[in-house]
A = this chain, B = another copy of it.
Amino acid sequence: MTGETSAIEAHRSSLRAMLGEDLVLTGIEEIARYCRDWHGDVSSSAVAVVRPRSTADVVAAVKACRELGLSIVPQGGNTGLALGATPDAPEREVVITLERMNRIRTIDPDDFSAVVEAGCILSELKDAIAEKGMFFPLALGAQGSCRIGGNVSTNAGGINVLRYGMTRELVLGLEVVLADGSLFEGLSTLRKDNRGIDLKQLFIGAEGTLGIITAVSVKLSPYPDNVATALLGLASLDDAISLFRRARRDCCDLMSAFEFMPPLAFTLAREAMPDLPIPISGDYPAYVLMEISGSGLVDVDDLMGRFLEGVMTDGLVVDGTIASSQTQARNLWLIREGMNEGQAKRGSHMRSDVSVPLSRLAAFVAEAEEAIGKALPNCISVSYGHVGDGNVHLNVLPPNDMTGKARTDIIYAAKNALNEVVDRYNGSISAEHGIGRLKRPDFESRLPETHRKLLTAVKTAIDPNLLLNPGCQLNLSAIS
């Protein structure tokens, strides 16, 4: 046994002694899935994985790690794709997973609010809320696996942001365990509360670097019983932007999704789901998947019908299909999901999550695809995303037969080519997934000095020993 190994073993014994066997996992195999990112691209290990059942357990775990001089990597559903929730220093990091803290504390339709523990899976929360006639609008591909604490820690986005905002705008209150083991009790459900600086904002999007979120109170809306979904074929992405502007005015705040996709989406979707019905020709240069939704007295079918009649008469939309049942609507969304699965089937590729001012989205996509095409002529660009948020996922697929280092190199080159264009558009290299460890170098190299000073000041003021998620977002040294 080397010195390092025996030190790790000593820490493991201490953790078991301090927290109890039930809370502490240390076997290499049993901790493996907590130490690997969602795609399985990156694997590491840890001193231990602690699985608290309560806020008090989290407090005890933080105090134990602090006492032993171990760092903490908080983890929710581990679906963030930015390496924000997985360890990278096996000899000194402990993963604290919130997966056992998955109780819904209250759902109060009269208060339009719910209070839920951090480890609750998003889709389970949404379903429980829907059963009470209410709606929690956060909607993203990973919702069957991601956990609400992670959604808050990464300020998750998704497809309904244009209407309901990012996770930040859905959070009413937080309960957070701080690095010194003290508890920030802020689980209010008040809609308006201007008692000084709003501390909870600090923890939203901090990716666990300032505290461990243990519970969340969220804002609910009435459940939108009526949903109209349409898939539209257009002459260009430029037209898709014009269509968005018009829809934003014509359909007002009732539009809940407006996604764009390239024609290649259908090919990719079919590769993943051969039987998926595709009720529109695949020959248009751009596609839009649009949703209008509402509850009560609002007739969204009528609104969608009148809207499409107008834009088709004006030639802004060339072809289109409206779902006439929930199944058909589900199938339209499956094209979008299938497109992603189809990309995964083609092997590892460059995934991105960038944003630009929404008025410049079409120009940005054209310029970025051209730059990547010039630099990497044998790759395929797939651009899709959320028009209303200026959020583009421009992915680059290397040739199918390219493997190993050649493939890794081309992915790296594609990312750099894209980010150069993002910089020219004053865009963001992370629109909705956060920085984590994956994007830290690209983040830090672009960070203005004043931002860095402020981020460092805030981090060291709240977590002076850099106990929490070190190496996530920033690479700092503890102040002594």
Contacts and interface: CB of A to CB of B under 8 A. Distances in A.
Interface of A: 108, 110-113, 154-155, 157, 161-163, 165-166, 168-169, 178, 182-186, 188-199, 201-202, 204-207, 209-210, 221-222, 224, 245, 248-254, 294-298, 303, 306-307, 310, 355-360, 386, 388-391, 426-435, 443, 448-451, 453-455, 457-458, 460-462, 473-474
Given A201-B198, A454-B462, A390 B192 contact: yes
Given A112-B248, A178-B450, A461-B457, A163 B194 contact: no
B110 A245 contact: yes
Contacts of A253: 163, 221, 252-254, 294
Nearest to A300: B252
A286 B462 CA distance: 47
Given A111-B359, A169-B169, A357-B111, A455 B199 contact: yes
A295 B357 CA distance: 23
A96 to B, nearest CB: 19
Contacts of A222: 248-249, 252
Given A253-B253, A359-B111, A462-B454, A205 B210 contact: no
A474 B196 contact: yes
A194 B154 contact: yes
Given A190-B428, A196-B455, A249-B295, 17 more contacts: A111-B358, A161-B191, A190-B390, A190-B431, A191-B390, A192-B391, A194-B430, A195-B428, A195-B430, A196-B443, A197-B205, A222-B248, A222-B252, A250-B295, A251-B298, A454-B462, A457-B461
In this complex, which of A162, A166, A183 has the most chain B Cβ atoms within 10 angstroms of its Cβ?
A: A166
A184 B435 contact: no
Given A204-B198, A248-B112, A252-B295, A448 B185 contact: yes
A432 B192 contact: yes
23 contacts: A112-B248, A113-B357, A155-B194, A157-B194, A162-B191, A168-B201, A182-B453, A188-B426, A188-B428, A191-B355, A192-B431, A193-B431, A196-B205, A196-B434, A196-B474, A197-B209, A249-B296, A250-B295, A252-B253, A252-B294, A297-B307, A454-B462, A457-B462
A154 to B, nearest CB: 7
B249 A252 contact: no
Given A111-B359, A201-B201, A359-B110, A184 B451 contact: yes
B194 A450 contact: no
Contact of A198 (B155, B306, B390): B155
Nearest to A446: B195
Contacts of A224: 252
Nearest to A110: B359
A464 to B, nearest CB: 9
Nearest to A178: B450
Contacts of A161: 191-192
A135 B366 CA distance: 30
A188 B389 CA distance: 13
Contacts of A358: 110-112, 191
Contacts of A360: 111
A56 to B, nearest CB: 15
A298 B252 contact: yes
Contacts of A390: 190-192
B249 A189 contact: no
Nearest to A252: B294
B473 A428 contact: no
Contacts of A388: 191
A328 B143 CA distance: 48
Contact of A195 (B157, B190, B191, B429): B429
Contacts of A450: 178, 182-185
